């Protein structure tokens, strides 16, 4: 890559300079033939991630878990599930990642534990258990009903009766995922110790699961009906959520988590929040200068934007609204997909997903990629009789299942796509003989090469990381913006329309979504659904 300067913007912290790559470890690489991916498997693939050009890997939960929600029901925060490896494997993984200049971000499943966690086992023993108050227990409502009308993400009430002690406990997710009680200072301290545990073992940061749900209304008020609810929407969305989401005390907890990270000084570990809220509320998860919270909460606007609204006008407005909502200096964080949502290539198609990746990797802020999206992987078909993720299946009323976005990574054309020598826990997508890393490495115009080129372009040019961002008014249907720092100026033009558009720009095409016109200078015409990155003449 001749044009790269390899300038790494050293004055910025690593989590601003580098792109994040989400790995769902069960589905990434199996090393022992049990059909479930594991940490030693991920270790084998670190060279791939370094080659690709991401700077950090976020690993979703690998802790001991009865797997009712595949790791998001943790029964021991300070260990590794035997199916995923050992603590020594994590240690080796962190060391080997660091040797390659990669950081390791782990999941902090803070909102709830597994009902098998010793804390909950003890809590439910009696009303007088010393850990009773570690969870949220309430007496039944009238005639034995749940204490109020709160609903779980995974369907049904957010309360389950414990017949032994005659009280209900709260769970925003499955009954097997009881909510911790952050009004109890001992719980906050316990989670701080979990953070320290993983920092001591080489973690470079945390993605706080369900960060906007940590604390609920202390008066347990009923939630009002949602007038916008329509059949087809999630059952939980029958209600508005003023009392179970975004409670002011949630910020108090996140400030405490952040303070633990601040103890690390130069290591600069990162705190990222999983927060599904409108911009005005989302931006409060940065905290303030005096009392910081997340380095950034994920902005899921591009995950939530329906495919028929991916237009230049709509995206331009979205980017500007996000910008306007953030205080100066609040660092953006963009996402196209994750293990809870349909894959981006399924939502937008191959062309649309190529455009989306140019956007993701040239907007200001930290981009997070989801494993396999760099190949254009699409959702797998899910046999309703063989659903593994029952929780997600219920969440979406059977219309969609998270299994679809969690099929094994497609490495090569060998049986099971090189993911495992055994029987994969989820079926490999049948397009793997053509769509895989090995095949796309050989094809210079593949999706993989597009994403790799974009990643290296971003990490080599500070203007694309931290440069000024200016929307450029122009042709209808084309989202165009400049990124500028000092004498470096770039134009990104994304043609979301289905007609060709002439571009008035003095510069050199450095990248096209089709990877077939690099080096071109002069007046370019954007083909339908083509995106270009142009280096402007100083």
Structure tokens, 357: 């990746």
335 or 478: whose CB is closer to ligand ISL? 335
Q: What is the footprint of ligand ISL within residues 415-454 (CB under 6 A)?
A: none
Q: What share of the chain is helix, strand, coil (3-state, %, to 5)?
A: 35, 20, 50
Distance CA 538, CA 535 (A): 9
Only segment of 34-42, 46-54, 158-166, 336-344 that touches ligand ISL (CB under 6 A) = 336-344
Please, are residues 9 and 465 in contact by the beta-carbon 8 Å criterion? Answer: yes
Rule CB under 6 A: say whether 455 interacts with ligand ISL. no
16 or 250: whose CB is closer to ligand ISL? 250
Rounded to a whole number of angstroms, the minimum distance from the CB of residue 391 to ligand ISL is 6
| Residue among 431, 427, 421 nearest 406 (CA) | 427
Residues with Cβ within 8 Å of 538's Cβ and at least 6 positions away in sequence, in order, are 487, 488, 489
Distance CA 110, CA 317 (A): 34
Q: What is the footprint of ligand ISL within residues 193-212 (CB under 6 A)?
A: 209-210
From the candidates 3, 218, 262, 263, give the one annotated as an active-site residue.
Answer: 263
Only segment of 4-12, 131-139, 185-193, 338-346 that touches ligand ISL (CB under 6 A) = 338-346
173 or 469: whose CB is closer to ligand ISL? 173
CB under 8 Å, gap of 24 or more: what pairs does 143-152 form? 147/220, 148/220, 148/221, 148/222, 148/223, 149/222, 149/223, 149/239, 150/216, 150/222, 150/223, 150/239, 150/243, 150/244, 151/223, 151/235, 151/236, 151/238, 151/239, 152/236
Distance CA 388, CA 67 (A): 10
Determine the size of the site formed for ligand ISL (CB under 6 A).
13
For residue 219, give the DSSP letter: T
* Exposed / middle / buried, residue 130 (Cβ in 10 Å: 0-12, 13-18, 19+): exposed
What residue ranges in 163-295 does DSSP mark as E strands? 167-170, 205-208, 270-273
User: Hey, how many other C-beta atoms are within 10 angstroms of the C-beta on 397?
Assistant: 13
213 or 318: whose CB is closer to ligand ISL? 213
Rounded to a whole number of angstroms, the minimum distance from the CB of residue 71 to ligand ISL is 8
Rounded to a whole number of angstroms, the minimum distance from the CB of residue 206 to ligand ISL is 14
Report angle CA 72, 76, 77 to the nearest 5 degrees.
75
Rounded to a whole number of angstroms, the minimum distance from the CB of residue 337 to ligand ISL is 11
302 or 510: whose CB is closer to ligand ISL? 302
The strand pairing partners of 262, in sequence order, are none
Rule CB under 6 A: say whether 345 interacts with ligand ISL. no
153 or 432: whose CB is closer to ligand ISL? 153
Half-sphere exposure of 217 (CA within 13 A, CB side): 14
Active-site residue flag, 263: yes
Distance CA 444, CA 269 (A): 36
| Dihedral sign, Cα of residue 98, residue 448, residue 374, residue 4 | positive
Active-site residue flag, 245: no
Only segment of 114-122, 334-342, 377-385, 438-446 that touches ligand ISL (CB under 6 A) = 334-342
Rule CB under 6 A: say whether 72 interacts with ligand ISL. yes
Rounded to a whole number of angstroms, the minimum distance from the CB of residue 274 to ligand ISL is 6
Q: Which of 69, 176, 204, 373 binds ligand ISL (CB under 6 A)?
A: 69
241 or 535: whose CB is closer to ligand ISL? 241
What is the number of the residue whose Cβ is closest to ligand ISL? 72
From the candidates 69, 73, 107, 209, give the one annotated as an active-site residue.
Answer: 209
Rounded to a whole number of angstroms, the minimum distance from the CB of residue 304 to ligand ISL is 8
Distance CA 62, CA 80 (A): 6
Distance CA 405, CA 344 (A): 10
Rounded to a whole number of angstroms, the minimum distance from the CB of residue 276 to ligand ISL is 4
Q: Which of 395, 403, 475, 530 binds ligand ISL (CB under 6 A)?
A: 395
116 or 508: whose CB is closer to ligand ISL? 116
Q: Which of 173, 371, 393, 419 binds ligand ISL (CB under 6 A)?
A: 173
Active site residues: 209, 263
> Where along the sequence are the contacts to ligand ISL (CB under 6 A)?
69, 72, 109, 153, 173, 209-210, 274, 276, 339-341, 395
């Amino acid at each position: 890559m001749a044009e790269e300067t390899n300038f790494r913007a050293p004055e910025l912290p690593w989590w601003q300079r580098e792109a994040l790559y989400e790995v769902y470890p069960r589905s990434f690489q199996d090393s022992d033939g049990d059909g479930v991916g594991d940490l030693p498997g991920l270790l084998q693939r670190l060279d791939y991630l370094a080659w690709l050009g991401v700077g950090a890997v976020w690993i979703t939960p690998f802790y001991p878990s009865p797997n009712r929600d595949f790791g998001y029901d943790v029964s021991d925060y300070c260990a590794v599930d035997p199916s995923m490896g050992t603590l020594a494997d994590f240690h080796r993984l962190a060391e080997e990642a660091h040797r390659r200049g990669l950081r390791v971000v782990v999941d902090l499943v803070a909102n709830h534990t597994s009902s098998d966690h010793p804390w909950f086992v003890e809590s439910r023993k009696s009303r007088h258990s010393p850990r009773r108050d570690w969870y949220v227990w309430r007496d039944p409502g009238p005639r034995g009903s749940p204490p109020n009308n709160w609903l779980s993400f995974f369907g049904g009430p957010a309360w389950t009766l414990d017949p032994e002690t005659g009280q209900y406990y709260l769970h925003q997710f499955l009954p097997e995922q009881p909510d911790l009680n952050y009004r109890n200072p001992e719980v906050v301290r316990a989670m701080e110790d979990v953070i320290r545990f993983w920092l001591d073992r080489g973690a470079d940061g945390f993605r706080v699961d369900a960060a906007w749900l940590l604390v609920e209304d202390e008066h347990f008020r009923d939630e009002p009906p949602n007038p916008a609810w329509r059949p087809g929407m999630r059952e939980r969305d029958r209600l508005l959520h003023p009392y179970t989401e975004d409670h002011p005390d949630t910020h108090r907890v996140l400030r405490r988590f952040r303070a633990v990270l601040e103890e690390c000084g130069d290591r600069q570990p990162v705190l990222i929040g999983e927060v599904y809220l409108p911009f005005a509320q989302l931006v409060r998860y940065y905290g303030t200068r005096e009392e910081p919270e997340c380095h950034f909460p994920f902005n899921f606007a591009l995950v939530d934007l329906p495919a028929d609204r991916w237009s230049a006008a709509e995206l331009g407005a979205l980017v500007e609204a996000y910008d306007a909502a953030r205080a100066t200096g609040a660092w953006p964080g963009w996402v196209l997909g994750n293990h809870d949502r349909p894959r981006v290539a399924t939502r937008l198609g191959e062309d649309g997903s190529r455009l989306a990746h140019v956007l993701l990797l040239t907007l200001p802020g930290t981009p997070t990629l989801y494993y396999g999206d760099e190949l254009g992987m699409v959702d797998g078909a899910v046999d309703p009789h063989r659903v593994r993720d029952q929780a997600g299946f219920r969440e979406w009323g059977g219309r969609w299942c998270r299994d679809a976005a969690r099929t094994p990574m497609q490495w090569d054309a060998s049986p099971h796509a090189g993911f495992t020598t055994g029987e994969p826990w989820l079926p490999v997508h049948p397009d793997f003989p053509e769509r895989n890393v090995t095949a796309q490495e050989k094809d210079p115009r593949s999706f993989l090469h597009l994403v790799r080129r974009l990643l290296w372009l971003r990490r080599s040019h500070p203007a694309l990381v931290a440069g000024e961002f200016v929307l450029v008014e122009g042709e209808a249907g084309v989202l165009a913006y400049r990124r500028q720092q000092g004498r470096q100026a770039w134009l990104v033009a994304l043609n979301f329309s289905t007609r060709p558009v002439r571009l008035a720009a003095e510069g050199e095409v450095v990248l096209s979504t089709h990877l077939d016109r690099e080096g071109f200078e002069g007046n370019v015409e954007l083909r339908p659904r083509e995106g270009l990155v142009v280096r402007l003449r100083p």
